[in-house]
Homo-oligomer: A and B are copies of this chain.
């Protein structure tokens, strides 16, 4: 990943210096503008910000969706247009933010992570979304073109639900809700993977390696890191006090809050389950070990005495009367067989066989 810039590049620079941190995922930034009110709708793809001739009427809600955050010049332009604090812009172009909500009186700045499965093995990818909520506008900044907001766009276009009747705060809610709802999709896949691994483990605890369980556990830990703060973010929106979020929207946000709590509990449960799998693996591996040891001990315990007896009658002493006996050989063979059977009974009583 040659285009990846790490956090340490910024050490020592003055605050508000815009440096893109993270992996560049798209080549050109996409600017998607939707202006809507209950009366009408205006949607267009902008080439640059100067293309935009906004009709900033009273009840219109403006949603500017920016796809790609590596063109810091463009971000700066948008920032100065909407009068956004340099620190917010710095955070927008840094894709390694922790989910958070910052209150700048005139607007709210929300950082969240979108999750989606990637590739054939369903590895979970995270993508950062920055949302700025102003009085009558919402700005969204994504790393990539792909997102989970298509349902919202359709609802706006087709005037479905109450989205066109509500303000920018409801749009913010719809965006956050879409992101959190998408977590459930990702989680169901993860849950199926865990269940499959658990089933494999019970059937044959060697079929699934310890490494695979550790990979699952690591995935869950990193998910928790991404999703953990989301509850606090939604809580922060609920406690917002500048009037940017109306009380009717708050009811909806409380619903999203319940979902985040549910998701966090699911993560904890997944963590417990993978922990249980590791415990199970280790103890069943130690059981296999004991089984191996038993076989070894049984074989040794049965054959050592027998081999010893054979060794005795293999000695070359001149005066060993048993050797001359006509029935010496069959008698000794019988004794050996009896010893073997006795041992087998002993082990059966000890429950080793």
Give residues in A with beta carbon < 8 Å to B: 6-8, 10-17, 85, 87, 90-91, 96-98, 100, 102, 104, 148, 150-152, 155, 160-163, 174, 177-178, 181-182, 184-185, 188, 202, 206, 210-211, 214, 217-218, 221-222, 225, 251-252, 254-255, 258, 261-262, 265, 269, 272-273, 276, 278-290, 292-297, 299-301, 303-308, 310-320, 322-329, 332-333, 351-352
How many copies make up the complex? 5
Q: Which residues of B contact A14 (CB under 8 A)?
A: 151, 155, 160-163, 174
Q: How far is the CA of A11 from the CA of B100 in the complex (A)?
A: 23
Would you give the shortest CB distance from A15 to chain B, in whole angstroms? 6
Q: Please state if B292 and A290 are interface contacts (CB–CB under 8 Å).
A: yes
Given A161-B16, A299-B304, A300-B299, CB of A265 within 8 Å of CB of B214: no
Q: How far is the CA of A302 from the CA of B245 in the complex (A)?
A: 78
Would you give the shortest CB distance from A333 to chain B, in whole angstroms? 8
Q: Please state if B8 and A188 are interface contacts (CB–CB under 8 Å).
A: yes
Given A217-B276, A318-B324, CB of A265 within 8 Å of CB of B87: no
Which of A8, A11, A214, A319 has the most chain B CB atoms closer than 10 A to its own CB?
Answer: A11
11 A-B pairs besides A8-B188, A317-B332 with CB distance below 8 A are A11-B181, A12-B151, A14-B155, A87-B252, A217-B276, A218-B276, A221-B269, A281-B283, A300-B300, A303-B308, A307-B311
Q: Please state if B318 and A316 are interface contacts (CB–CB under 8 Å).
A: no
Q: Please state if B289 and A290 are interface contacts (CB–CB under 8 Å).
A: yes
Given A280-B210, A299-B301, A304-B300, CB of A314 within 8 Å of CB of B310: yes
Given A318-B323, A323-B317, CB of A12 within 8 Å of CB of B87: no
A265 touches which one: B98, B290, B322 (CB < 8 A)? B98
Given A14-B161, A290-B292, CB of A316 within 8 Å of CB of B316: yes
Q: How far is the CA of A317 from the CA of B317 in the complex (A)?
A: 12
A-B contact pairs, 9 of them (CB 8 A): A8-B184, A11-B181, A14-B174, A104-B251, A282-B286, A290-B292, A316-B320, A317-B322, A317-B323
